[in-house]
């Protein structure tokens, strides 16, 4: 193999290593950023608070309703008890009974609404609890497959690194230095194949002397236009 061919192999291996590293980083980030369980737990907490509020609201209305009922019963008792005979007093009592009946009816309506509200809040809480259970199961499954992928990637990475060492071992260190510099300067593409007598990366047409030099078994040749190492294939 000529040096360009070795460098091309090295670049392919480095690209694979970089891809593995990127995927490993994404997986690690995905796992650590997974807030699904946390947000499902928060939803349960907030639904539970809503149930407590609805229970409190219902209790308050029930208490008020009870107060009015007691007043109504007492006014009724006085009205029909026969002890009050004064017409003005009787008229006041009648007005009082009528007004408390109205208030009681209004409270009973509110009580019904509060009971419906409580039922809805309890249903919402049950829904949130079911969602939390499903989320926990789903997260476990998702992470299991990500963990599996992670362990495969780690093995692949070890293999690629050992392949890299084998490639480098047979190469001239001068060429490796040039390659390393170009990789940094040229955004990961230091070696470019030749396709139809042109540089596959920048597209410039290569002269026959350059094409011939690119086939040298000892030296490397650069694309005159983009300055990358040419690989004749």
- For residue 225, state whether it binds Zn ion (rule: CB under 5 A): yes
Tell the burial category of 200 from Cβ atoms under 10 Å away from its Cβ (0-12, 13-18, 19+).
middle
- For residue 189, state whether it binds Zn ion (rule: CB under 5 A): no
Work out which of 121, 223, 229, 231 binds Zn ion, going by CB under 5 A.
223
- For residue 213, state whether it binds Zn ion (rule: CB under 5 A): no
- For residue 27, state whether it binds Zn ion (rule: CB under 5 A): no
Q: Which is nearer to Zn ion, 74 or 201 (CB)?
A: 201
Work out which of 79, 168, 202, 213 binds Zn ion, going by CB under 5 A.
202
- For residue 17, state whether it binds Zn ion (rule: CB under 5 A): no
What's the rounded Cα separation, in Å, for the pair 58 and 100?
20
In this structure, the number of other CB atoms found within 10 A of the CB of residue 165 comes to 10
Contact stretch for Zn ion (CB under 5 A) within 29-37, 126-134, 191-199, 212-220: 191-199
Task: Classify strands 191-195 and 198-199 as parallel, antiparallel or unpaired.
Answer: antiparallel
- Shortest CB 226 distance to Zn ion, Å: 3
Work out which of 199, 214, 220, 229 binds Zn ion, going by CB under 5 A.
199
Q: What is the DSSP letter of 219?
A: -
- Return the closest-CA partner of residue 146 out of 36, 26, 33: 26
- Shortest CB 13 distance to Zn ion, Å: 22
Residue 134: both structure tokens together = 């499903």
In this structure, the number of other CB atoms found within 10 A of the CB of residue 133 comes to 11
Contacts with Zn ion by CB under 5 A lie at 199, 201-202, 223, 225-226
């Amino acid at each position: 193999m000529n040096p360009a061919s070795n460098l091309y192999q090295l670049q392919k291996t480095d690209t694979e290593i970089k891809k593995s590293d990127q995927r490993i980083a994404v997986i690690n980030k995905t796992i650590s950023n997974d807030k699904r369980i946390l947000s499902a737990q928060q939803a349960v907490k907030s639904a539970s608070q809503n149930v407590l509020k609805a229970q409190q609201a219902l209790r308050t209305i029930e208490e008020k309703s009870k107060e009015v009922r007691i007043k109504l019963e007492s006014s009724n008792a006085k009205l029909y008890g026969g002890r009050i005979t004064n017409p003005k007093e009787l008229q006041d009592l009648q007005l009082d009974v009528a007004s408390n009946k109205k208030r009681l009816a209004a409270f009973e309506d509110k009580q019904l609404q509060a009971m419906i509200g409580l039922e809805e809040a309890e249903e919402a809480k049950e829904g949130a609890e079911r969602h939390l259970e499903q989320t926990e199961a789903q997260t476990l499954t998702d992470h299991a497959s990500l963990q599996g992928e992670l362990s495969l990637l780690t093995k692949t990475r070890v293999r690629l690194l050992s392949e890299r060492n084998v490639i480098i071992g047979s190469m001239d260190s001068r060429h490796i230095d040039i390659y390393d510099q170009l990789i940094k300067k040229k955004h990961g593409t230091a070696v470019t194949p030749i396709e139809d007598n042109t540089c596959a990366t920048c597209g410039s047409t290569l002269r026959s002397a350059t094409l011939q030099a690119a086939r040298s078994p000892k030296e490397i040749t650069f694309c005159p236009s983009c300055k990358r190492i040419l690989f004749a294939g």
